[in-house]
Amino acid sequence: MDGFVRVPISEQEPKVRATNFEEVCLGYTEEEAVKEAGRCLNCKNPKCVGGCPVSINIPAFIHEVSERNFEKAYQIISESSALPAVCGRVCPQETQCEGQCIRGIKGEAVAIGKLERFVADWARENGVKPTPAEKKNGHKVAVIGSGPSGLTCAGDLAKLGYDVTIFEALQKAGGVLVYGIPEFRLPKDKVVAAEVENVKSLGVTFETNVIVGKSITIDELMEEEGFEAVFIGSGAGLPRFMGIPGEQANGVFSANEFLTRSNLMKAYEDSDTPISRGKKVVVVGGGNVAMDAARTALRLGAEVHVVYRRSEAELPARAEEVHHAKEEGIQFDLLQNPVEILTDDNGWVTGVRVIKMELGEPDESGRRRPVEVEGSEYNIDCDTVIMSLGTSPNPLISATTKGLEVNRRGCIVAEETDGKTSKASVYAGGDAVTGAATVILAMGAGKAAAKGIDAYFQNNK
């Protein structure tokens, strides 16, 4: 069955990695990458490219890997993606490029994500950078937010010669890549900072610690600072809660706060940043964020239970993350939903009261609707609860920008094709428009907006 099975990838042993914050996946060696690249059938009509929201020429870069032309492979990827080392690690390839791979019909899809990661890591280790524009075109564009959408939009515009400045509220650039996704999945200094540096090397200026809407408004950037167009890529950082009794108790956190403390302020490294080191932690939710919060709490020494109201088949997290979480010893309490957070007399969490659920008819999302089983409530003892129920955009930007339309979920209304908003020469994309989604969709939106902004200047010359 030669070629039907992918070349296996090395990972840290589950027992070892459950006690450290080092990267779980160790990546392919050169020999392994070349062998895996040899499995690509180089299809005439490559469906994998259609499955990639930034349309990387996948067969072409994989062919170069199989020929050991790693630098050429990197140049091909970087024509379409500013963040290949990030995407190679965190993209849901199984439902995108790899989900379309012909090899996947009778065997395992080519490990496109792992090959992308290999190429990007090889380029970084060998000092290969993307190619900057030869000359500037004299137009100034502001980008709000340095997450994947902002970095992509800024990088693409810089390559076209625009003079781009990214305004970022936090002290470090990268958005969720630095403050959300944990070190053990996405190393910050080695990978994220290096790809941010690549965007800088294209000529993009970064202004950190600038909260647009407080430090300066979009209208001021355009009317007083000479920016002719703006891209808003400010993400969806506002956590949701359930609204159940006890949610204000000491020991209840949003996953965002918990992960930000751990990642950005390095609380896991015994720094001065306070972080909850619970003995028994309940994480509520079943997405990637819930898996990250659970696996972080585990590494900080807790017994961790993930409470999710549907069954395993509906878990929205990537299959690989669920698999890793289980291997590390996280327990999944499925088809259960919290109804109350229990506290002691001093207001500290002592447990969660949950009710069992069963699956009914499909809802508007197409997933079967969870229905409460009457009289099935019981208590789970714990000292910490982490709520991971999704996020929505912060209203600061929309509230301080004249004429910017938002929908009833607080998301900025923008065209999917070019990111155009209701306000002239203002574009938007990523989680700020779609609500919490994925890195690659945010990058796709940044790319589309860069094209839209360029078309705007071409048409208004």
Ligand X SMILES: Cc1cc2nc3c(=O)[nH]c(=O)nc-3n(C[C@H](O)[C@H](O)[C@H](O)COP(=O)(O)OP(=O)(O)OC[C@H]3O[C@@H](n4cnc5c(N)ncnc54)[C@H](O)[C@@H]3O)c2cc1C
Comparing CB distances to ligand X, the nearer of 46 and 145 is 145
Comparing CB distances to ligand X, the nearer of 170 and 297 is 170
Q: In what order do the strands lie in the sheet with 331-334?
A: 252-254, 384-387, 280-284, 303-308, 331-334
**Binding status of residue 202 toward ligand X by CB under 6 A:** no
What the block records as the tokens of 346 is 């001093």
**Binding status of residue 175 toward ligand X by CB under 6 A:** yes
**Binding status of residue 165 toward ligand X by CB under 6 A:** no
Pick one of 80, 146, 217, 398: the residue that binds ligand X (CB under 6 A).
Answer: 146
**Binding status of residue 149 toward ligand X by CB under 6 A:** yes
In whole angstroms, the minimum distance from the beta carbon of 431 to ligand X comes to 4
- Count of residues engaged in binding ligand X, rule: CB under 6 A: 42
CB 264 within 8 A of CB 178: yes
**Binding status of residue 84 toward ligand X by CB under 6 A:** no
**Binding status of residue 195 toward ligand X by CB under 6 A:** no
Cα three-residue angle 326-331-336, rounded to 5 degrees: 125
Site string for ligand X, 344-383 (x = CB under 6 A): ----------------------------------------
**Binding status of residue 130 toward ligand X by CB under 6 A:** no
Comparing CB distances to ligand X, the nearer of 204 and 335 is 204
Comparing CB distances to ligand X, the nearer of 213 and 370 is 213
Pick one of 101, 142, 176, 386: the residue that binds ligand X (CB under 6 A).
Answer: 176
In whole angstroms, the minimum distance from the beta carbon of 199 to ligand X comes to 12
Comparing CB distances to ligand X, the nearer of 37 and 86 is 86
Closest CA to 326 of 297, 295, 353, 299: 295
Give the dihedral sign, CA 182/184/190/191: negative
What count of Cα atoms within 13 Å lies in the side-chain half-sphere of residue 247? 14
**Binding status of residue 438 toward ligand X by CB under 6 A:** yes
Other CB atoms within 10 A of residue 274 CB = 9
Comparing CB distances to ligand X, the nearer of 218 and 354 is 218
CB 256 within 8 A of CB 239: yes
Q: Which stretch binds ligand X (CB under 6 A): 40-48, 217-225, 403-411, 434-442?
A: 434-442
**Binding status of residue 91 toward ligand X by CB under 6 A:** yes
**Binding status of residue 262 toward ligand X by CB under 6 A:** no
**Binding status of residue 90 toward ligand X by CB under 6 A:** yes
**Binding status of residue 289 toward ligand X by CB under 6 A:** yes
Residues 6 or more apart from 38 whose CB is under 8 A from it? 3, 66
What the block records as the tokens of 35 is 């062998």
**Binding status of residue 98 toward ligand X by CB under 6 A:** no
**Binding status of residue 292 toward ligand X by CB under 6 A:** yes
**Binding status of residue 234 toward ligand X by CB under 6 A:** yes
**Binding status of residue 213 toward ligand X by CB under 6 A:** yes
Separation of alpha carbons 303 and 151, rounded Å: 37
Separation of alpha carbons 25 and 8, rounded Å: 11
Comparing CB distances to ligand X, the nearer of 299 and 318 is 318
CB 445 within 8 A of CB 430: yes
CB 367 within 8 A of CB 310: yes
Q: Which stretch binds ligand X (CB under 6 A): 28-36, 100-108, 174-182, 189-197?
A: 174-182
What residues are paired with 15 via a beta bridge? none
Comparing CB distances to ligand X, the nearer of 342 and 440 is 440
**Binding status of residue 431 toward ligand X by CB under 6 A:** yes
**Binding status of residue 166 toward ligand X by CB under 6 A:** no
Binding site for ligand X (CB under 6 A): 90-92, 144-150, 167-170, 175-176, 180-181, 211-213, 233-235, 237, 259, 288-289, 292, 318, 394, 396-397, 430-432, 436-440, 442
